[in-house]
Amino acid sequence: MSVNESSWLADGVKEIERITKASMIVKPEIVNLPQERPGVYGVIVPGPAGSLMEIKKLLADPLWHNERLDDPTQLIAFINSMEARKVKAVDGAVYISETHIMYVYSFEDRRHRAICPLTISEPWAWLSKAQPPLSQKELVRALRITFDGALNRDSNLINIIRKVKWRADNTVDVDVQRGREALGAQIMREATGIADFPEEFILNVPVFENVKQTVTVRVALEVNMDVCKFEVIPFPNQIADGMAQTLGWLQTDIAATKVPTFIGAVRNDTKDA
């Protein structure tokens, strides 16, 4: 027996003993061997009380047959098509996480799974990450490009931001108010053009690139007088609530297929490689 085969056998025995003790199997069974290359599996024949009698290498088709779908609409169509193949709704389950949707089902004596990756959208990724103070140009660019179509149609926010002008002189002003802030005995900075500057605004953005629904996010807009920049800060729980709302929509849509649908992930032994 070669060194590689010896290592394979040792790893296989450990895995088989774990599975045997956990499931108390009483018939020959094909099992995954984690340390082996794809397509190589183990066949075990348990003896009395589940003791291990034999383990053999087997080159076969994967225990899991995988399908990949581009978006939830295609996944739902795929699930609905399984009825024609005599796959009942109770023969499977759907698990929805923040990274993908997985439909697990049994068909022709094999385990199958159909996976739809969920890709975080650029606007959502931007909002989910703490942003440094933005210059006037950077904020306008973000609203025009990253958040294209995310502002309400009647919003005049971009024009308001463009009209803001910063000035620094040697006057002294002890009054602290929005747009006018004392910075010291000798220097005062002033922002003009923000008499009607909003303290918050609304963005309508998709959480995922391949999910059409959008969520509403309340965002605070602060003027940082120290550096003459703007700060964009989502209000507490807006990001978590938006994600939960989107996963809830997906659960409702997929549950209409009658397949049991859950928000969560499958066990580690069924995860996508």
3-state secondary structure 192-231: ECCCCCCCEEEEEEECECCCCCEEEEEEEEEEECCCCEEE
* Cα-Cα-Cα-Cα dihedral sign, residues 63, 69, 74, 76: positive
CA 13 to the chain's CA centroid: 36
Q: Are residues 17 and 90 in the same domain?
A: no
Of 42-46, 128-132, 143-147, 227-231, give the lowest mean pLDDT range: 42-46
Q: 116-129 as b/e, with b when 16 or more CB fall inside 10 Å?
A: bbbbebebbeebee
Q: Which of 100, 113, 104 is nearest to 208 (CA)?
A: 100
State the DSSP H helix or E strand holding residue 17, giving kind and residue range, or none if neither: helix 3-23
Q: Are residues 70 and 55 in the same domain?
A: no
Domain count, the chain: 2
Q: Are residues 164 and 268 in the same domain?
A: yes
Token representation of residue 6: 């010896």
Distance CA 15, CA 258 (A): 35
Distance CA 228, CA 260 (A): 53
Q: Are residues 25 and 143 in the same domain?
A: no
Q: Are residues 237 and 128 in the same domain?
A: yes
Q: Are residues 32 and 79 in the same domain?
A: no
pTM: predicted TM-score of the whole model, two decimal places = 0.67
Distance CA 238, CA 223 (A): 21
Q: Are residues 55 and 68 in the same domain?
A: no
β partners of residue 106: 111
Q: Are residues 255 and 194 in the same domain?
A: yes
Q: Are residues 107 and 232 in the same domain?
A: yes
**Four-point Cα dihedral 15, 20, 25, 27, nearest 10:** 60
Q: Are residues 53 and 71 in the same domain?
A: no
pLDDT digits (tens, 9 = 90+) for 162-178: 888 877 653 333 333 34
Q: How many CB atoms lie within 10 A of CB 139?
A: 22
pLDDT digits (tens, 9 = 90+) for 28-76: 555 555 555 554 555 555 555 555 545 554 444 445 678 899 999 999 9
Distance CA 118, CA 273 (A): 16
Q: Are residues 69 and 185 in the same domain?
A: yes
pLDDT: which is higher, 23 or 233 = 233
In the block, residue with structure tokens 């909003």:
198
In the block, residue with structure tokens 């953005």:
205
Q: Are residues 146 and 172 in the same domain?
A: yes
Token representation of residue 121: 């959208």
Distance CA 10, CA 85 (A): 40
Looking at 16, 32, 59, the residue that finishes a domain is 59
Average pLDDT over residues 175-199: 48
Give the range of the structural domain holding residue 114, as residue numbers without chain letter.
Answer: 63-273
